[in-house]
Amino acid sequence: MAAVLFDFSGTLFRAESAASWLRAALDETGHALSEPELAATARALEAAGALPGGAEPVELPADLAAVWAVRDESAALHRAAYTGLSRRVPLPDPGLHDALYERHMSPAAWTPYPDAEKVLRTLRGRGIGVGVVSNIGWDLRPVFREHGLDAYVDAYVLSYEHGVQKPDPRLFAVACEALDADPRRVLMVGDNRAADGGATTLGCRVHFVDHLPAAQRPDALLPVLDLVG
């Protein structure tokens, strides 16, 4: 293998819990909820699918279906989709919906999987190119920098910067070109079979991991090192 492409959320990093997300936004804006209210509101936000990187909506509102389908094609669409979902849940202040969205873009809202650093560092040591290909509406580079993983990434290909989202093979093609790698010698690692599986259209191999809390998935990325040889 000449290069390995990684998805971001659920693959290299895990988003914080809905409760942690809500608590941080409340603290940052000077608002408060009782613990029972916070827990109930966090559950409602999670069911609404309002946390980017978290669970998808239990029931997608009809008036958001169109924007949801293309949410990762621009920063504006991404914000509209997720703040639209969070507004289905009553909060102490309307401004909290935007505060929640801002919070999820903070490096503090993300935790690398325990084996991510080792895998990326080892690939770099072997001279294998590393790219991050993500369906996303914001710049995740600061997250990698804050957690010390940016030094191992050669290229970031983010859907909102190209106006196209996975599984469209054009996004994977951009990544392969950026790494000067023949797609037939590239491995795509992700947690979403529909989105990340789009890489097979170009001839890439694909390896899937489970989107689990970081503490429950300590070593799922390690097999990548055997797959690249």
The stretch 103-121 carries a mean pLDDT of 98
Judged against a pLDDT cut of 90, whether residue 170 lies above it is answered with yes
- Average pLDDT rounded to a whole number, residues 12-27: 98
Quickly state the pLDDT bin for 50 (edges 50, 70, 90). very high
1.10.3720.10, 3.40.50.1000, 1.20.120.80, 3.10.150.10: CATH of 3-14+111-228: 3.40.50.1000
Q: What is the pLDDT of residue 166?
A: 98
What pLDDT is attached to residue 196? 98
- Has residue 175 got a pLDDT over 90? yes
| Crossing angle for the helix pair 75-86 and 35-48, to the nearest 10 degrees | 130
Q: Report domain extents, the chain.
A: 3-14+111-228, 15-109
Residue 229 reports pLDDT greater than 90: no
Q: What integer best gives the mean pLDDT of the chain? A: 97
pLDDT value at 164 more than 90: yes
Residue 149, pLDDT score: 98
Q: Of 200, 159, 129, 125, which is closest to residue 9 (Cα–Cα)?
A: 159
What's the whole-number mean pLDDT along residues 55-73? 97
pLDDT in tens, 71-89: 999 999 999 999 999 999 9
pLDDT band at 31 (very low <50, low <70, confident <90, very high): very high
Per-residue pLDDT tens for 127-149?
999 999 999 999 999 999 999 99
**Which whole number is the average pLDDT over 53-71?**
97
